[in-house]
Amino acid sequence: MTTPGTGPAVITIDQDRPPDPAYVRELSAALPDITRLLVRQAAHREALDPDTLRAVVTDLGAAASLIPSLTENAAAWIEAEHTGGRLASRVPGAPVQRLADIAHIRLRTASTAASELAGQLGWVQVILTDLRAADGEERGDG
């Protein structure tokens, strides 16, 4: 992965690392960069074949299927922090309860959309199992 202006970036994926806001931000910041690079690579015909496309769709589906858990974690955090009196609005006088409720509703909506995305990608994965490169098909510009 490369970060504009800084060259290649290294991300350490450590399942045993203790919970840490800085590490969470590092991981979440990598998602758009990785996706952007994947989009750029996959835009070239020579970068894909049926097996690679199936793997990409499978991996996208797996990622999408995890989003509901992440949004549930976020909603639970908002609920716990609000209940514990540890949230305040940056806007003076804004109703914190209303903001927390709206965030919770939107997170639930995002969770549903991610579940639908994962399901649709699952169907595409099944369909792609029946595709293969035509015999003698060579990659080239096109």
Domains identified in the chain, total number? 2
What pLDDT, on the 0 to 100 scale, is given for residue 10? Answer: 85
Is residue 55 located within the same domain as residue 125?
A: yes
Is residue 15 located within the same domain as residue 54?
A: no
Encoded tokens for 97: 């309860």
What pLDDT, on the 0 to 100 scale, is given for residue 142? Answer: 41
Is residue 16 located within the same domain as residue 52?
A: no
Instruction: Determine the structural domain holding residue 90 and report its residue range.
Output: 48-132
Q: Report yes or no on 43 lying in a domain.
A: no
pLDDT in tens, 38-57: 999 999 999 999 999 999 99
Is residue 16 located within the same domain as residue 78?
A: no
pTM, 2 dp: 0.79
